Amino acid sequence: MALAIFDLDNTLISGDSDYLWGVFLGEQGIVDKKYYTRENERFYEEYKQGKLDIFEFLEFSLKPLADHPLPALLSWRQEFIDSKIRDIIPQASYDLIAGHRDKNDTLMIITATNAFVTRPIAELLGIEILLATEPEMINNQYTGKVEGEPTFQLGKVSRLDDWLKQNHATLEGSYFYSDSRNDIPLLEKVDHPVAVDPDDMLRKHAEQQQWPIISLRGESDA
């Protein structure tokens, strides 16, 4: 029984949930659409280039959580999942997860996207263990701040190390599936790194390291 770790955005789903949440907020008029769209696009491009300042981004992306009461946020989130997420989960992702489940592997998603957005997606995928950036909450209200270390780049490695210690687990026989250059530090730590529909830099690195390169996207993907 090994640990099977999955990145979420552009790996298990054919899109970026953080970015799409921003699109949804603008479409619904929950945020200023012109400003939010511009900044959302900028941060997403910086992420893809490996140049994202995660704390600047989180100050931007967590503000809507702090600006609205939890019941409204939960209602919007359900609408977001139904309208933006369900149709971009490839069947191949479910099949990959099922293969590891059949081997009694421990399943985990580790993602830089905040847990408010990603927890229901993990539930859709049937994965209970989620390591995500945690928005701070006080008295049932999000504050707009981050609790602990963001799960981004080396932060994924340190958050996973903490989880391993707390659960008396190891990376023996472990897998990690990711699409992004931002995840090379964690890919290099596991026994079985797998590049999934990788960006150009990760593809080049995977080829040099002779890592498997797979695709979870097909003609049936939405």
CATH number for the region 3-214 comes to 3.40.50.1000
Catalytic residue among 9, 179, 183, 197: 9
Largest separation between any pair of C-alpha atoms in the chain: 50
Going from N- to C-terminal start, the domains of the chain cover: 3-214
Q: Which residues of the chain have pLDDT under 70?
A: 218-222
Using alpha carbons, select from 93, 97, 113, 108 the residue that is nearest to residue 9. 113
Can you give the pLDDT at residue 222? Answer: 31
Write down the residue that tokens 């932060």 correspond to.
Answer: 155
> What 3-state DSSP class applies to 220?
coil
pTM for the whole thing? 0.94
Q: Tell me whether residue 7 is one of the annotated catalytic residues.
A: yes
95 is catalytic: no
Is 111 in contact with 127 (CB distance < 8 Å)?
Answer: no
| pLDDT of the residue at 1 | 80
- Give the model's pLDDT for residue 48: 86
pLDDT in tens, 48-90: 888 999 999 999 999 999 999 999 999 999 999 999 999 999 9
